[in-house]
Amino acid sequence: MKQKVLNYFNNTFKKVFLYLDDILLFIGIALISVGVFKIYIPAGYITLGILVVLFAYVYARSKEGDHG
């Protein structure tokens, strides 16, 4: 029983670590956007738009390497 529980947590952590960089990226985008929104609302929208465009660019570049 103990070994099954350890294997379950080990497998779960492996899956989480596969997506940890994406999770941290989204948390970072959210925190930056909320901070800028609290300072000045229009700048918050601009910042969020820039961050989303940068994320799309990075994502597209990573997918580009998968094809070649």
Q: Could you read off the pLDDT of 3-42 as tens digits, one per residue? A: 888 888 888 888 888 888 888 888 999 999 999 999 999 9
CA distance 15 to 32: 26
How confident is the model at residue 2, as a pLDDT?
81
Provide the whole-model pTM.
Answer: 0.68
Determine contact, residues 41/64, Cβ cutoff 8 Å: no
Over the stretch 38-53, which tens digit does the pLDDT of each residue have? 999 999 999 999 999 9
